[in-house]
A = this chain, B = another copy of it.
Amino acid sequence: MRPEEAYERLRALGFGDEQAAVLFEHFSDAERRGKLGHGFSRVEWLETLPDIEPGALPVKVDSSPGFDRWEGRGALGYLTLAAICTDLEAAPPEPARVVVAADCFPTGMLGHWVRRLTRAGLTAMLTATSPARLAHPAGGPALVGTNPLALGIPAAEGEPVVVDVSMGEVTYGEVLAGLAPAERLVPFGGEHAHKAFALALGLQLLVESQIGSGYGAVLVALRAEPADLTAFGEARLPGR
């Protein structure tokens, strides 16, 4: 799908200018980074969703120093996370804020959102839940989502470090985009797959302990000194 077509099809789904621009920016960032499972293939996927509400807007329902709670209220998770980023940019944490988002799905490439927050001088850690697709390494039904963990840290020079690790060998997006077979939707790690399963489980229960049922996200944003990365020499660091 060409970029112009993606944008037009988002508008045709009923999204306003601003919302379509947020979605388009996320999908094209994913394409640019080679994460095609989070790219324009998702526009086609959105078209298959039965109950999309293009006019829905997320709402900040609770706020106290160091803590905000949001509800998607039917908005796509992408739009809820974008609204949270806008809010953090306008009033940065002093020095830390935990943000919980309920009814927040799909959330896309989490690295996109933490990268955005590094531009506001923030270190950010973000996780989000998604439908159960990973079974326990010992077998049985799918119990947990691929529940990625993303971390973004501003660097003193050049691009920030952006880590974005799904707990699956492949992401559901890669399966959707025809880039990987569904059989590879297992916790990564081979003989150490119990570690990735445990992380996916722990992150899922962390989110659920805050939102109850459904899908959601937990973000921690911290004021940060930009990282001096000279000690890492020539090593290729994620996100750079």
Contacts and interface: CB of A to CB of B under 8 A. Distances in A.
A235 to B, nearest CB: 5
Interface string A220-239: 10101101000111011110
A9 interface: no
A209 B98 contact: no
Q: Which secondary structure dominates chain A's binding surface?
A: mixed
Contact of A206 (B64, B125, B140): B125
Interface residues on A, range: 35 or more
A232 B132 CA distance: 11
Interface of A: 64-67, 94-98, 123, 125, 136, 138, 140, 143, 149-151, 153-154, 161, 163-166, 169, 188-192, 194-196, 198-199, 201-203, 205-206, 208-210, 212, 220, 222, 224-225, 227, 231-233, 235-238
Given A150-B202, A209-B222, 8 more contacts: A98-B222, A125-B206, A143-B231, A143-B235, A151-B205, A151-B206, A153-B202, A163-B202
